């Protein structure tokens, strides 16, 4: 014979807390995967930034050399 508690389908505190813990665990797992993904993307962006800085330094050297050659021709 079901109890009055079962008939009303009222959840006890333990069930509510268990659901909350499971929900928080799911949220934490999702947040962790997003952080890992963003970390990887940031690493890629930083690598591109380093490459751009390297190439810009090379361009500055070429421009300096060209300006020096133009200056000597005058």
* Whether this model's pTM surpasses 0.85: no
CA dihedral 68, 69, 70, 72 (to 10 degrees): 90
50, HSE (Cβ side, Cα atoms, 13 Å): 6
Convert the pLDDT of each residue in 8-48 to its tens digit: 667 788 898 999 999 999 999 999 999 999 999 999 999 99
């Amino acid at each position: 014979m079901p109890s009055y508690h079962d008939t009303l389908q009222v959840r006890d505190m333990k069930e509510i807390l268990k659901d909350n813990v499971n929900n928080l665990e799911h949220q934490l797992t999702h947040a962790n995967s997003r952080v890992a993904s963003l970390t990887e993307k940031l690493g890629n962006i930083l690598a591109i930034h380093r490459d751009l800085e390297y190439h810009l330094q090379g361009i500055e050297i070429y421009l300096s050399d060209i300006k020096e050659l133009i200056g000597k021709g005058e």
